[in-house]
Amino acid sequence: MRLTARAAVLALLLMPALAGAQDVLPAATQIAAAVQAAPDDRRADATVLGYDAAGALTTLRKGTNEFICLADNPKVNGISVAATTATSTRSWPADAS
């Protein structure tokens, strides 16, 4: 059930990407989607990298823990978010099984 809720939230947040839009999503939307790849207890304090209006990679939120989350790239078809630390990488939904 929890996985289904995550999938629904991610799909709603990234609806323009699902429709093939190339527009960069608002920072708040990118952050909300990107942190889904991090463990629940690490999301609030994770650094989030995403994309500015020109599509360049930028820091959307500076964090205080070891996690770095990456928002979906608007220039690439499909949806992909990821979270990493110095020693591991998690992506969602690939690791959701």
Domain range annotation of the chain: 2-96
Rounded Cα distance between 97 and 85, Å, is: 20
Q: In the predicted model, what is the mean pLDDT of residues 32-51? A: 97
Contacts of 71 (CB under 8 A, 6+ apart): 25, 30, 31, 33, 34, 48, 49, 50, 51, 60, 81
Does residue 6 surpass a pLDDT of 70? Answer: no
Does residue 16 surpass a pLDDT of 90? Answer: no
- Give the model confidence (pLDDT) of 43-97 as tens digits: 999 999 999 999 999 999 999 999 999 999 999 999 999 999 966 666 656 555 4
**What type of residue sits at position 83?**
A
